[in-house]
């Protein structure tokens, strides 16, 4: 329906300040899984900006698989994101897990991330459809592309056209990676939908050593951008340290992506 190519022939472009997702630009969103402290976020933002990435990521509300894992700094995390985006002039993306927080969060962040576990949380989607703010809609890890696009329709049908899809890996029988990155979904989405698409190689891979190859493959396959976990000191990360790139690995990846992005 609304997310389909039949509905709209030309590619949709989502604009955040001077960043255009879905145009010519390679858009890299990067930063730590979770906001942990002012020092950590400031250091991450410096690396992100310096390496040529254009959007800072950082979770304030963390929907963890276990209730005993770190759940995020919440309000204090939002305040750090707001301060850091102003200091660095970088738009920020953060996950919203509860529809009741959405209005409040809109004052602190530029892009809402809907997590894989919430892709079919239709009350959350309906609420975000009413707030005219860009949304990155992650693919549910057990959802088909059709289910993903119809979830996007919940946002679009409320009048929010600023929808960016994010492939982040799906659950398969393969257990050598955390999830299986569905590279095929990139050309399939490009064929059947007008929406911009970014890829998160970090949550798919589950290990930092696999992230660069998946990131490069995603751009070669036609993704508009990437969402990458990068931590100033991955070994000390409170969340997802094992899949986070170090600043030096991140800088190297950014350099390696340039010729690939230029070729597609």
CB of 31 to Mn ion, least distance (A): 10
Rule CB under 6 A: is residue 168 a binding residue for ligand PEP? yes
- Footprint (CB under 6 A) of ligand PEP, residues 2-21: none
Under rule CB under 5 A, residue 95 binds Mn ion: no
Residue from 40, 84, 94, 116 touching ligand PEP (CB under 6 A): that is: 116
Residue 2 or 54 with smaller CB distance to ligand PEP: 54
The phi and psi torsions of 245 (rounded to 5 degrees) equal: -75, 150
Identify which of 113, 160, 224, 223 has the alpha carbon closest to the alpha carbon of residue 2. 160
Q: How far is the CB of 263 from ligand PEP (least distance, A)?
A: 28
Q: Which two three-digit tokens encode residue 247?
A: 């600043």
> Per the structure block, which two tokens stand in for 42?
């400031």
Crossing angle for the helix pair 211-220 and 247-263, to the nearest 10 degrees: 20
- Least CB distance to ligand PEP at residue 71 (A): 12
Quick one: CA dihedral 23, 25, 31, 37, positive or negative? Answer: negative
Using CB under 5 A, pick the residue from 33, 152, 164, 257 that binds Mn ion.
33
The minimum distance between CB 119 and ligand PEP, in angstroms, equals 8
Q: Which of residues 214-243 bind Mn ion (CB under 5 A)?
A: 240
115 binds, among ligand PEP, Mn ion, none (CB under 5 to 8 A by kind): ligand PEP
- How far apart (Å, rounded) are the C-alpha atoms in residues 96 and 54? 20
Q: Measure the CA–CA gap between 44 and 252, rounded to whole angstroms.
A: 15
CB atoms within 10 A of CB 214: 20
Between 167 and 240, CB nearer to Mn ion:
240
Q: Which stretch binds ligand PEP (CB under 6 A): 24-32, 72-80, 111-119, 243-251?
A: 111-119
Helix (H, G, I), strand (E, B) or coil at 15: strand
Q: Measured between alpha carbons, how far is residue 114 from residues 101, 117, 230, 235 in Å?
A: 13, 8, 19, 27
Does residue 138 touch ligand PEP according to CB under 6 A? yes
State in angstroms the smallest separation of the CB of 241 from ligand PEP: 12
Q: Which residues bind ligand PEP (CB under 6 A)?
A: 33, 59, 115-117, 138, 168, 200, 203
């Amino acid at each position: 329906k609304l997310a389909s190519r039949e509905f709209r022939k030309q590619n949709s472009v989502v604009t955040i300040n001077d960043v255009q997702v879905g145009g010519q630009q390679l858009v890299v969103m990067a930063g730590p899984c979770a906001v942990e402290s002012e020092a950590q976020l400031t250091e991450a933002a410096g690396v992100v900006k310096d390496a040529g990435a254009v959007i800072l990521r950082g979770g304030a509300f963390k929907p963890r698989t276990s209730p005993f894992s770190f759940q995020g700094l919440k309000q204090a995390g939002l305040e750090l994101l707001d301060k850091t985006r102003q200091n660095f002039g970088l738009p920020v993306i953060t996950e919203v897990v509860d529809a009741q927080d959405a209005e409040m969060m809109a004052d602190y962040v530029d892009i809402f991330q809907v997590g894989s576990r919430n892709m079919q949380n239709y009350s959350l989607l309906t609420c975000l459809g009413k707030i005219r703010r860009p949304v990155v809609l992650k693919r549910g890890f057990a959802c088909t592309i059709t289910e993903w696009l119809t979830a996007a329709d919940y946002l679009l049908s409320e009048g929010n056209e600023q929808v960016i899809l994010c492939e982040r890996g799906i659950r398969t029988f393969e257990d050598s990676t955390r999830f299986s990155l569905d590279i095929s979904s990139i050309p399939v989405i490009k064929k059947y939908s007008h929406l911009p698409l970014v890829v998160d190689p970090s949550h798919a891979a589950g290990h930092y050593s696999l992230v660069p190859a998946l990131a490069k493959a995603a751009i070669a396959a036609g993704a508009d951008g990437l969402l990458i976990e990068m931590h100033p000191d991955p070994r000390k990360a409170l969340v997802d340290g094992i899949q986070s790139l170090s600043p030096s690995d991140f800088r190297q990846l950014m350099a390696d992506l340039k010729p690939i992005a230029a070729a597609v």
